[in-house]
Amino acid sequence: MNSKKTAKSFKMIILSFIAATQIFPLYWLITFSLKSNAEIFGENVIGLPKAWRFVNYSTALTDGGILRYFLNSVFYSAATVAVVAIITAMAAYAIARMKWKLKAAAFGIFSIGIMIPSQAALLPLFQTMDKLGLKGGYLGLLIPYIAFGIPMSVMILTGFYKGIPKEMEEAAYMDGCGIFRCFLAIMLPMVKPAVATASIFTFLGTWNELMFANTLVDSADYRTLPVGIMSFAGQYSTDWGLIGAGMVIATLPTILIYFLLSNQVQESLVAGAVKG
């Protein structure tokens, strides 16, 4: 019995140690974002701030231009999530339920998409957006984000539709319900959890994306947070508190969404990966 207890506490020590390594860098980031350089660089490296410098945040938001980047990122992410959710909910329904010869081929094309590293499309996208006159504006980045968000979402939703029994739909069609109404009123409410799951993936991918944002946008007016913070960190390289504040601002939305929806995130991951 005693050895069982030792094993148990040993387990807890290991689990807690790894939890500490996973969370400590984030703790450090948050504390130094509220400190002065004097504290960060010697007086108080890992403790809580002695004087809480919220001014780091207001300076980053206004002088550093982070507010603009933040709003841009919100726009890109929200628009991508909305468009991807709508068009993939429809496409996945067509693949899972409708009767057509090429649906296996269409599904195959989407599933290749998951394997494709985004850098392989970067240069042609850069040229296409340039030719269309969209490069450097909102659409020039938004369209690639939507396109690359599609395959994962189609996969998750198709799997989910297939698990839904057909009786409800059949009854609705019998009653003379049209396809669009049936889709909107019966199918969409049933796949809501899967749409939420897929949307979380889309959101994280878009919000955190760096390479496309760095290449397809040059003006600060359309810049996203990751690129904005990178140039900001170069500009104020010696002011760690200020950089830290910018990084916390960039991280806060994803952490908040994760904590609010962590059950959904975890269930969805299970659904996506275990089936795939």
Partner 1 sequence: MDKMLGKKSYIAVFVLPALLIFVSFVMIPLLISGTYSLFEYDGIGKMRFLGLQNYIDMFTTDRYFPKAVVNSIVLVVASLFIQLPVSLVLALVLAHGVKGEKFFRTVYFVPVVISSMVIGQLWMKIFHSEYGLLNILISAITGSTFDYSWLSNSKTAFLSTVIPAVWQYIGYHMLIFYAGIKSISTEYYEAAQIDGATKWQTNMKITLPLLTPVIKTCVIFSITGSLRAFDLIYVMTGGGPNHASEVPATLMYNNLFRRGLYGYGSAQAFFIVIECLLFTFIISRIFRKSEENASAI
Q: Are 203 and 81 in contact (CB under 8 A)?
A: yes
Measured from the CB of residue 257, what is the shortest distance to partner 1 in angstroms?
A: 8
The single-letter code of the amino acid at 85 is: A
71 or 109, CB closer to partner 1?
109
Span 52-81, contacts to partner 1 by CB under 8 A: none
Q: How far apart are CA 29 and CA 151, in angstroms?
A: 34
The residue range among 53-61, 63-71, 92-100, 191-199 that interacts with partner 1, by the rule CB under 8 A, is: 92-100
Span 109-128, contacts to partner 1 by CB under 8 A: 109-110, 112-113, 115-125, 127-128
Choice from 106, 186, 190, 196 touching partner 1 (CB under 8 A): 106
Measured from the CB of residue 51, what is the shortest distance to partner 1 in angstroms?
A: 18
Within a 10 A sphere around the Cβ of 206, how many other Cβ atoms? 25
Mention every residue, 6+ apart, whose C-beta is less than 8 A from residue 117. none
Span 1-20, contacts to partner 1 by CB under 8 A: 8, 11-12, 14-15, 18-19
Q: Are 207 and 73 in contact (CB under 8 A)?
A: yes
Choice from 2, 3, 99, 189 touching partner 1 (CB under 8 A): 99
What is the C-alpha radius of gyration for the chain, rounded to an integer number of angstroms?
23
Q: How far apart are CA 20 and CA 158, in angstroms?
A: 38
Mention every residue, 6+ apart, whose C-beta is less than 8 A from residue 9. none
67 or 267, CB closer to partner 1?
267
Measured from the CB of residue 98, what is the shortest distance to partner 1 in angstroms?
A: 5
40 binds partner 1, rule: CB under 8 A: yes
Q: How far apart are CA 265 and CA 257, in angstroms?
A: 9
What separation, in Å, do the N-terminal and C-terminal C-alpha atoms of the chain show?
Answer: 42
Q: Are 206 and 145 in contact (CB under 8 A)?
A: yes
Choice from 60, 156, 240, 242 touching partner 1 (CB under 8 A): 240
Span 246-265, contacts to partner 1 by CB under 8 A: 247, 250-251, 254-255, 257-259, 262, 265
222 or 232, CB closer to partner 1?
232
Choice from 1, 21, 104, 167 touching partner 1 (CB under 8 A): 21
Choice from 66, 91, 156, 195 touching partner 1 (CB under 8 A): 91
Q: How many residues in the shown chain lie near partner 1 by CB under 8 A?
A: 94
Span 132-191, contacts to partner 1 by CB under 8 A: 143-144, 146-148, 150-151, 154, 169-170, 173-174, 178-179, 183
Q: Are 95 and 135 in contact (CB under 8 A)?
A: no
Using alpha carbons, select from 127, 142, 116 the residue that is nearest to residue 206.
Answer: 142
For the record, the structure tokens of 199 come out as 């949307």
